[in-house]
């Protein structure tokens, strides 16, 4: 263990040493000490950076989608399993859709008539069908070249330029290739980040709160309440959790919630996400509860609590001023570690097809049928798993760093 | 000691009974019932027939009555009939239970063999580069999704380098000598065991390291060195022996993780074990199989917890159960 004396570097001057000592001897608020300790754990800081990055991705997913023009649900069946970094033509359905949008956006009759009058096309079509026929008949690159070679009269130049832009947009870039339905893997991973991290955070926080309530009741009041709550906790802890989760995930929410005021959950667009959060919460509060109970039991017996009671402090004061602050720190660690676990469980259940249901993307359900396609498209199986690994390992390192940082025995000063 | 074991056994039995009701109730909440499956398989069944079938199988009765019927049937030794496999449950169960034991046992042994030396080494070389690397490996172990590591192993060792089969429990057994069929089994076990061990290695390394660091800081280690004992003797008899207690706890408790984890591993590798049986029977509404397999998984875990408690006494003479 490093003491103040040995913290001084061997080559330091007297002034430096004194400055260091006066800094250590100054009273510091708890959070500053914790922050300083945390910053020393290099992997924990790296983990924090990764987490901040993924949180940003999750938060700005719609922005990323708007900027890149990619849509997580847009299918393109003719271009399935494209390799990494490939350029792909939009599906004919998508092309027609965009031409329709282009035609609706303004009065394009003059442009249509002008193009129809040209003796340039390989196809015959009525004036109002011409643009549709063009985008279906010609491959996007060829059509773009044809359009660029046109010299339009001045009053049509703007319309033509807009049409060229629409045709130019038919070609899209897929950084991570496309999946079994021709959807862009990159943007699905981005939206999957959103779902997986949301589930992880919600589950860990709610489970932490449940644990706080159960553990406090149990630890502070003891007696019969303690016995009942702890038997339930022990029984749940003893279960092979994945087996139980599979059984519970398979239940039909309609049979449980149908006719109750909570029935709206069943009809919700994100039914499976809400279901997942609820189920994981029910089975992950036990660790937090035991931790809180343990800390309360040990704090309750300490002299400062007795002193407060002798001074006439009420239960509320003792709990609020003495017990809660001593319980929050370990709870924070448990919650941080819980996020990683929740993400792993969500991924495992979604992988088995019992968790988040498509078309909503999550890292787990992107791997759902990756196994059968491991030969065609190995990257489909590798990428989502790598993201899970990075995220969970970051949360675990961060939890480890926090635990070291708040441990009063480990404080180095 | 006997009284303690009896009391704990009694508690365990009560918990198992409660859980079996809980699980049975959950199964009634799953979408569809066996008659729906029969209708799907045979379009000639009319709704009146379906009603009669429901009555015949007692499916029209409330959950607790059905549970009582099921429980008395199981307690009298009849585990029921599997609708998907069309054989009595006891027939499929024995084989898959054995397979899961082989898988989980091999994974446990393998992970302990790898993890204990790594953990002890990391503890002795605390804060060295080797320690950081081992720590990183352990963190990766506890953070990696088990199904993903299984897929990656398949990708590496059966697609790119076709060394091991991508799935299954054994090859076609016809015409094999006992030795050949044994090596065939082992060959099929390699990838599942590797993927199942990954997580437990991470856990064991972390616990071994922490326990060993704590044990080696005690005064009796210094005393033993002052007495002139050999370093190996100190390490094994004084250090490791005292690091064993938390290790036994975590090993026994992690048996449940192995059993749970086996569901995923067995599903990915199409390995015929209890885990895959639970998953498949739940998916196909095969209540009898699902219930029995679930109860076996739960009982295994609870018994392991009991075994852990008893083993403390062996590792640490200070603990008694009187």
For residue A252, count CB atoms less than 10 angstroms from its CB and return exposed for 0-12, middle for 13-18, buried for 19 or more. Answer: middle
Average pLDDT over residues A269-281: 87
DSSP conformational letter for B42: -
Answer yes or no: do B256 and A347 touch at CB < 8 A: no
DSSP conformational letter for A172: E
Closest B-chain CA to A1 = B217
Q: Is B144 on the interface with A (CB under 8 A)?
A: yes
Average pLDDT over residues A238-255: 78
CA distances from A236 to A33, A228, A229, A341, B151 (A): 37, 13, 11, 16, 30
Per the CB < 8 A criterion, the answer to whether B142 and A397 are in contact is no
- The percent of residues in chain B predicted with pLDDT above 90, rounded, is 17
- 3-class state of residue B33 by DSSP: coil
Distance CA A199, CA A284 (A): 13
Structure confidence by residue, pLDDT tens digits, A169-223? 777 787 888 887 878 889 999 999 999 999 999 999 999 999 999 998 888 788 8
Q: Does the structure show a pLDDT above 50 at A1?
A: no
pTM: 0.84
- What does pLDDT average to over chain B? 83
Scanning B218-257 for CB atoms below 8 A from A yields 256
Provide the pLDDT for residue B243: 84
Q: Which of B27, B19, B61, B111 is nearest to B284 (CA)?
A: B27
Answer yes or no: do B282 and A388 touch at CB < 8 A: no
> Which of B151, B159, B263 is closest, CB to CB, to A243?
B263
DSSP conformational letter for A174: E
Residues of B in contact with A369 (CB under 8 A): none
Task: pLDDT band for A12, please (50, 70, 90 cuts).
Answer: low
Q: Does the structure show a pLDDT above 90 at A48?
A: yes
Provide the pLDDT for residue A38: 85
Q: Is A381 on the interface with B (CB under 8 A)?
A: yes
Q: Does the structure show a pLDDT above 80 at A29?
A: no
Q: Which of A323, A287, A273, A276 is nearest to A210 (CA)?
A: A287
Average pLDDT over residues A139-162: 77
Q: Which residue has the higher pLDDT, B230 or A25?
A: B230
Task: pLDDT band for A408, please (50, 70, 90 cuts).
Answer: low
Average pLDDT over residues A229-252: 81
Answer yes or no: do A238 and B302 touch at CB < 8 A: yes
Q: Does the structure show a pLDDT above 90 at A127?
A: no
Q: Does the structure show a pLDDT above 70 at A109?
A: yes
Provide the pLDDT for residue B118: 94
Domain extent listing, chain A? 91-169, 185-410
Q: Does the structure show a pLDDT above 70 at B27?
A: yes
Overall residue count recorded for chain A in this entry: 413
Q: Which residue has the higher pLDDT, B136 or B318?
A: B136
Residues of A in contact with B30 (CB under 8 A): 250-252
Provide the pLDDT for residue B320: 65
Task: pLDDT band for A398, please (50, 70, 90 cuts).
Answer: very high
> Which of A43, A367, A375 is closest, CB to CB, to B147?
A367
Task: pLDDT band for A4, please (50, 70, 90 cuts).
Answer: very low
Per the CB < 8 A criterion, the answer to whether A352 and B118 are in contact is no
**Bridging pattern class, strands A171-174 and A86-89:** antiparallel
Long-range contacts of B77-84 (CB under 8 A, 24+ apart): B79/B288, B79/B292, B80/B288, B80/B292, B81/B288, B82/B281, B82/B286, B82/B288, B82/B289, B83/B34, B83/B37, B83/B284, B83/B285, B83/B286, B83/B288, B84/B280, B84/B281, B84/B284, B84/B286, B84/B289
Give the DSSP H or E segment for A88. Answer: strand A86-89
Q: Is A374 on the interface with B (CB under 8 A)?
A: yes
Distance CA A396, CA A337 (A): 5
Give the DSSP H or E segment for B302. Answer: helix B287-315
Backbone dihedral region of B45: left (phi > 0), alpha (psi from -120 to 50 degrees) or beta? beta
Structure confidence by residue, pLDDT tens digits, A70-102? 888 877 777 777 778 778 777 778 888 888 888
For residue A410, count CB atoms less than 10 angstroms from its CB and return exposed for 0-12, middle for 13-18, buried for 19 or more. Answer: exposed
**Tell me, which fold does domain A185-410 have in CATH?**
MetI-like fold (1.10.3720)
Per the CB < 8 A criterion, the answer to whether A368 and A272 are in contact is no
ipTM for the whole complex? 0.85
Scanning B67-106 for CB atoms below 8 A from A yields none
Q: Is A1 on the interface with B (CB under 8 A)?
A: no
Per DSSP, helices labelled H in A311-373 are: 315-317, 324-351, 363-366
Distance CA A162, CA A256 (A): 54
Answer yes or no: do A251 and B30 touch at CB < 8 A: yes
Q: Which of B76, B80, B98, B100 is nearest to B89 (CA)?
A: B80
Answer yes or no: do B152 and A348 touch at CB < 8 A: no
Distance CA A1, CA A4 (A): 10
Q: Angle at which helices A140-148 and A130-137 pack, to 10 degrees?
A: 120
CA distance, residue A105 to nearest chain B CA (Å)? 47
Q: Does the structure show a pLDDT above 60 at A8?
A: no
> Which of A352, A388, A396 is closest, CB to CB, to B267?
A352
Per the CB < 8 A criterion, the answer to whether A187 and A64 are in contact is yes
Per the CB < 8 A criterion, the answer to whether B10 and B16 are in contact is no
Structure confidence by residue, pLDDT tens digits, A308-358? 889 988 888 887 788 877 888 889 889 999 999 999 999 999 998 888 888
Closest A-chain CA to B127 = A41
Provide the pLDDT for residue A25: 65
Q: Does the structure show a pLDDT above 70 at A52?
A: yes
For residue A24, count CB atoms less than 10 angstroms from its CB and return exposed for 0-12, middle for 13-18, buried for 19 or more. Answer: middle
Q: Which residue has the higher pLDDT, A149 or B162?
A: B162
Answer yes or no: do A243 and B143 touch at CB < 8 A: no
Answer yes or no: do A371 and B154 touch at CB < 8 A: yes
CA count, 13 A, side-chain hemisphere, B206? 18
Q: Return the top range by mean pLDDT from B62-66, B131-135, B233-237.
A: B131-135
Closest A-chain CA to B140 = A393
Q: Does the structure show a pLDDT above 60 at B119?
A: yes
């Amino acid at each position: 263990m490093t003491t103040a004396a040995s913290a001084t570097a061997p080559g330091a001057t007297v002034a430096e040493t004194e400055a260091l000592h006066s800094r250590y001897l100054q009273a510091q608020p708890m959070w500053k000490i914790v922050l300083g300790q945390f910053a020393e754990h290099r992997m924990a800081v790296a983990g924090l950076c990764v987490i901040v990055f993924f949180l940003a991705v999750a938060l700005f997913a719609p922005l990323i989608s708007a900027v890149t023009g990619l849509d997580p649900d847009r299918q393109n069946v003719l271009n399935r399993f494209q390799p990494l970094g490939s350029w792909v033509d939009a599906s004919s359905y998508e092309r027609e859709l965009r031409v329709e949008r282009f035609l609706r956006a303004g009065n394009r009759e003059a442009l249509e008539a002008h193009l129809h009058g040209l003796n340039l096309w390989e196809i015959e079509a009525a004036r109002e069908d011409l643009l549709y026929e063009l985008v279906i008949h010609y491959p996007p690159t060829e059509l773009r070249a044809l359009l660029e070679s046109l010299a339009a009269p001045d009053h049509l130049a703007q319309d033509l330029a807009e049409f060229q832009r629409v045709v130019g947009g038919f070609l899209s870039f897929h950084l991570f290739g496309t999946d079994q339905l021709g959807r862009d893997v990159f943007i699905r991973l981005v939206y999957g980040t959103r779902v997986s991290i949301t589930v992880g955070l919600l589950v860990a926080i709610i489970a932490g709160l449940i644990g706080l309530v159960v553990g406090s009741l149990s630890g502070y009041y003891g007696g019969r309440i303690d016995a009942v709550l702890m038997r339930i906790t022990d029984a749940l802890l003893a279960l092979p959790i994945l087996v139980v989760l599979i059984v519970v995930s398979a239940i039909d929410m309609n049979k449980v919630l149908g006719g109750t005021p909570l029935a709206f959950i069943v009809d919700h667009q994100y039914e499976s996400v809400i279901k997942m959060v609820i189920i994981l919460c029910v089975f992950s509060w036990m660790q937090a509860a035991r931790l809180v109970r343990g800390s309360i039991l040990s704090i309750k017996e300490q002299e400062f609590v007795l002193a407060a009671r002798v001074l006439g402090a009420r239960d509320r004061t003792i709990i609020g001023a003495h017990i809660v602050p001593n319980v929050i720190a370990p709870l924070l660690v448990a919650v941080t570690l819980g996020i990683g676990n929740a993400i792993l469980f969500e991924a495992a259940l979604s992988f088995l097809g019992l968790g988040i249901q498509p078309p909503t993307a999550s890292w787990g359900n992107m791997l759902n049928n990756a196994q059968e396609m491991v030969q065609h498209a190995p990257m489909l199986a590798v990428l989502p798993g790598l993201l899970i690994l990075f995220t969970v390992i970051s949360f675990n390192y961060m939890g480890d760093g926090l635990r070291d940082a708040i441990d009063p025995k480990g404080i180095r000063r | 000691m006997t009284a303690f074991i009896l009391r704990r056994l009694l508690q365990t039995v009560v918990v198992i009974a409660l859980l079996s009701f809980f699980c049975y109730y959950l199964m009634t909440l799953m979408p569809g019932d066996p008659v729906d499956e029969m209708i799907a398989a045979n379009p000639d069944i009319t709704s009146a027939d379906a009603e009669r079938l429901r009555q015949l199988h007692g499916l029209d009765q409330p959950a607790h009555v059905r549970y009582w019927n099921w429980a008395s049937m199981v307690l009298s030794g009849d585990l029921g009939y599997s609708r998907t496999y069309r054989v009595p449950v006891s027939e499929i169960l024995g084989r898959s239970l054995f397979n899961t034991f082989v898988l989980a046992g091999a994974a446990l042994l393998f992970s302990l063999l790898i993890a204990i030396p790594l953990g002890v080494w990391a503890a002795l070389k605390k804060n060295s580069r080797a320690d950081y690397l081992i720590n990183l490996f352990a963190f990766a172990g506890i953070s990696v999704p088990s199904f993903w590591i299984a897929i990656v192993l398949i990708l590496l060792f059966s697609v790119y380098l076709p060394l091991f089969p991508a799935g299954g429990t054994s090859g076609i057994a016809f015409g094999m000598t006992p030795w050949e069929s044994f090596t065939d089994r082992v060959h099929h076990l390699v990838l599942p065991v590797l993927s199942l061990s990954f997580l437990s290695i991470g856990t064991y390394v972390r616990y071994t390291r922490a326990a060993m660091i704590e044990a080696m800081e005690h005064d009796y280690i210094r005393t033993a060195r002052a007495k002139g004992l050999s370093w190996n003797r100190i390490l094994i008899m004084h250090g490791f022996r005292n690091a064993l207690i938390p290790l036994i706890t975590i090993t026994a408790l992690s048996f449940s993780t192995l059993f749970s984890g086996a569901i995923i591993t067995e599903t990915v590798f199409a390995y015929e074990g209890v885990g895959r049986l639970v998953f498949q029977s739940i998916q196909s509404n095969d209540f009898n199989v699902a219930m029995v397999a679930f109860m076996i998984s739960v009982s295994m875990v609870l018994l392991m917890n009991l075994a852990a408690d008893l083993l403390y006494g062996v590792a640490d003479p200070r603990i008694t159960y009187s």
